[in-house]
Amino acid sequence: MDKDSRLLNYVGKFLLYALMTPIYWTSRLIPKNNNIWIFGAWFGEQYNDNSKYLFEYVNQYHPQIKAIWLSKNKIIIDQIRTKGYHAYHAYSIKGFIYSAKAKVGIVNMGIIDLNKFIPPDTIINLWHGIPLKKIMYDDEINKSLTNNRIKKLKKLVFPFTRYPENSEMMIACAPEDQKNIASAFKLPVEKVKITGYPRNDALFVPKIDELSNSHKVLYTPTHRRAGKINVGKLLVNGIFEIDNELNKLNTTLYIKLHFYHQNEIGQLENTINIHNLSNIKIVKDKDIEGDIYTYLSKFDTLITDYSSIYFDYLLTNKPIIFAPFDLDDYLKNDREQYYNYNDVTPGPKCSNWSEICKWIGLFKTHPSLYCNERESIKNKFHQFQNGNSSKRICEEILKLMSL
């Protein structure tokens, strides 16, 4: 975007925000209803993650609460409505009305998941992963994202402005990540409740295997600079060479790119000539309705680099392979981490796809390898190891509402 385009963008945004300010003040006059909860996820573009699982739990077990999903994506809205749930465009008339009436807003990123011009009184931020990499105010590399002066000025001019740290409650899976969440969002530790993640409830629900009869391995690299750096070259170096070895192992490798990198899938398919590979497949959001947690427990082994998904996968008690191909560069230019990487990653660290393929074979034959290390890290990061996280969160929200 050139200089003139950026200027026009800023001017247009300022005029929009100025127009929305009186609408915000009008919404403050509308009485809030404790039994209307609005939900959203990933900038209003996805139906997944912690918000989704809590939303569906509330619909099933708390009929006194009107749970409403807000989205900016018509496909998502239609998808949710076919399930029999309430869903509206965040900036539709009903989106504004329910945003104005709702006492509770539940997100996994921030108010941007909902209608950002009409924030509810009580924002519950479920976040989207146990922090391995430093986030928010703890992230020194990207600290411009948390510039306090800009935030204070914006909130002064536009009173509806809310940031992820403007939450009445956040959640954690254990005291270990509770302290990191509190630090990252500058919250009192008592506002970070240890409940477990709603999305992990799905790991304890038996499901029919819809993938294949082969040994199944999932590769989920984390994002680079929120999608600003292409991960394709990092992924493909040597990956096509192991297709024959995977065939001998009767193993299918599924690649699932991060939400921020979904636009790179076509390029990645062409780069590795995916149509000529019989044992390597790319998982697209449309194939899984945007939610890998529906299928996560069906994979026999997980491969990742720095994604927090491995903390969740520990609950399956299955093997994990780590692929920190660019660890030094990542720590220097992308994200620092809360821990020494080797201390909290219970599995082999591989530097290329040949090594990964070797470990896929070893884990297929001996899945108990590294089991003690996995158990130790699982106990450190998961106080609760069952499928009742949504229940615990609802109890905490209802308790907050009664104060």
pTM score = 0.92
Q: Is residue 23 very low, low, confident or very high in pLDDT (cuts 50, 70, 90)?
A: very high
In this prediction, residue 51 carries a pLDDT of 98
Asked if 42 and 16 count as a contact pair (C-beta separation under 8 A), the reply is no
Residue 265 has pLDDT above 60, yes or no: yes
Asked if 201 and 388 count as a contact pair (C-beta separation under 8 A), the reply is yes
Stated length of the chain: 403
Could you tell me which of 207, 243, 187, 221 has the C-alpha nearest to residue 357?
Answer: 243
Exposure string over 6-44, b if 16+ CB within 10 A, otherwise e: eeeeeeeeeeebeebeeebeebeeeeeebebbbbbbbbb
How far is CA 53 from each of CA 175, 213, 307, rounded to the nearest angstrom? 22, 28, 20
pLDDT in tens, 122-133: 999 999 999 999
Residue 232 has pLDDT above 80, yes or no: no
Residue 3 has pLDDT above 70, yes or no: no
CA separation for the pair 270, 104 (Å, rounded): 45
CA separation for the pair 159, 264 (Å, rounded): 37
pLDDT in tens, 59-111: 999 999 999 999 999 999 999 999 999 999 999 999 999 999 999 999 999 99
Asked if 160 and 20 count as a contact pair (C-beta separation under 8 A), the reply is yes
E strand or H helix at 219, and its extent?
A: strand 215-219
Helices (H), 130-207: 148-157, 175-184
208 — phi, psi (to 5°)? -70, 135
Residue 146 has pLDDT above 70, yes or no: no
